[in-house]
Structure 1
Amino acid sequence: MNLIYAILSDRRFLWLLLLINTGGTIYGYIWYEQQISETQAHFIPFVPDSPTASLFFCFVLLAFLLHKNWGLIEALALITLFKYGIWAVVMNFLTLAVTGDLPWQGYMLIASHGAMALQGILYADFYKMKLWHVIVAAIWTLHNDVIDYVFMQYPKYADLEIYVKEIGYFTFWLSVISIGLAAFLMKRNQVRNQSMY
């Protein structure tokens, strides 16, 4: 375990992760380019879900490199990385199940979004989130679900349009699980830190 912590906290590894996540974030915004261009301005912050999640994590990594902790950004990153990482993996496997085919980009999205969810959790031991950070991040996340599935700004998967109600329901409960995970990890870190003194 100490070896894992040493690798995760190594500045060279942090820089590498920052580079990878910056590239993935840029690619993600490009992937959403058409949908963003067709979206009303006040909805735009809530449309590119996955790249915004990885953007939050870029700021987390930048804070670590500056020897700082930005608790609110950590909470936003953890919840959204896990949520949208798992969400994209499920949506791509669902596309494969519905159509019987998945282009190479779909497999790339499965790998990259699975890594998103994993990295959010791997760095959780380093987070210094407070309850209000998790509450604000939870409000952002649930509000995003309302924008996506009430105002119909959800990520467009053409082959899955007929399942949009079911996907919205799944997404809501995935948000709840992600928020619960963040609250659990926050409490675990607080208890662990208190026991060290």
Structure 2
Amino acid sequence: MKLSLLWGREFLSSRFILWALFISNLLGTIYGYIWYGAQLWDTWANYPRWLIPFVPDSPTASLFFTLALLFLMFPNSLSKYHRIRTLIEALAVVTSVKYGVWAVSIIFAGAYQGDVLVWQDWMLVVSHLAMAVEALLFVRLFAYGSIMLLLAGTWTFLNDFMDYSFGVYPWLPQVLWDDVGTVMVFTVALTGISIAAGWIAMRAAKRI
């Protein structure tokens, strides 16, 4: 079997792959929200509570992708929600690429400054890289266009603004506490890169 078949449209759209990815992403989303539990409680107790939706970045990205898979699994039953589907797909791509790369970058930036990596860090590296890769692979099955991609990008930039204006950005390794300004610039730039990646992938998918 050719290796390229593993990311072909027929393979990705098979019921087995869709169900396998749906279950794994759903479990990862639940785990992600649990992972953010302490920060969510801290935000609830010490910040305006309307900031809560802006706190759990990666699990929300994973949730968008999980919902996007649901639309692929039941296209007929959910066909009347086409606009919602395309917005969720765009959000899934932009946020999965953005936070997948972001988390890996922060983990290794912390390690570069002396943070000791444990097995959970390597687990997060693998799972977050998978987030970015799977989102880009599935663009060929998604139906979002430029308008929905723009809306998804606007939401992600808004999330960046809330994170760094109100201090609800994801908790960083202690060695990076004095680098918040640099992390902020990297985060905002990565949002722009993720939008561009979503657009390039969309255009490439249309030519396949």
TM-score (norm 1): 0.92
Show the counterpart of 2:68.
Answer: 60
Q: Is the 8 A contact 2:115 2:173 kept in 1?
A: no
Structure 2 matches for 1:171-182, cutoff 5 A? Answer: 171-182=187-198
Shift of 1:89: 0.5
Q: Is the 8 A contact 2:7 2:137 kept in 1?
A: no
Where structure 2 has 5 or more consecutive residues not aligned to the other structure, the ranges are none
Give the alignment partner of residue 50 of structure 1, picking from 43, 58, 62. Answer: 58
Cα distance in 1, alignment partners of residues 157 and 37 from structure 2 = 23
SS in 1 for 2:113: helix
Deviation string, structure 1 residues 168-195 (Cα, Å, up to 9, x no partner): 00001000000111122233344x38xx
Cα distance in 1, alignment partners of residues 95 and 193 from structure 2 = 11
Deviation string, structure 1 residues 76-118 (Cα, Å, up to 9, x no partner): 0000000000000001111111125111111110010011111
Deviation string, structure 1 residues 125-167 (Cα, Å, up to 9, x no partner): 1111122101110110000000111111100023211111000
Q: Is residue 81 of structure 1 aligned with residue 85 of structure 2?
A: no
Which deviates more from structure 2 when the two are superposed, residues 112-121 or residues 90-99? 90-99
SS in 2 for 1:16: helix
Q: Is the 8 A contact 1:128 1:189 kept in 2?
A: no
Shift of 1:43: 0.7
Q: Is residue 134 of structure 1 aligned with residue 137 of structure 2?
A: no
Give the alignment partner of residue 31 of structure 2, picking from 27, 34, 56. Answer: 27
TM-score (norm 2): 0.87
Which deviates more from structure 2 when the two are superposed, residues 65-74 or residues 124-133? 65-74
Show the counterpart of 1:17.
Answer: 21
AA partner of residue 7 (structure 1): F
Where structure 1 has 5 or more consecutive residues not aligned to the other structure, the ranges are none
Structure 2 matches for 1:48-197, cutoff 5 A? Answer: 48-67=56-75, 70-159=85-174, 160-190=176-206, 192=207
Cα distance in 1, alignment partners of residues 201 and 38 from structure 2 = 36
Cα distance in 2, alignment partners of residues 75 and 63 from structure 1 = 13
Which deviates more from structure 2 when the two are superposed, residues 99-108 or residues 78-87? 99-108
Question: What is the aligned-residue identity percentage?
Answer: 42
Cα distance in 2, alignment partners of residues 143 and 4 from structure 1 = 32
| Count of residues in correspondence between the two structures | 192
- Aligned-residue Cα RMSD (Å) equals 1.5
Structure 2 matches for 1:36-47, cutoff 5 A? Answer: 36-39=40-43, 40-47=48-55
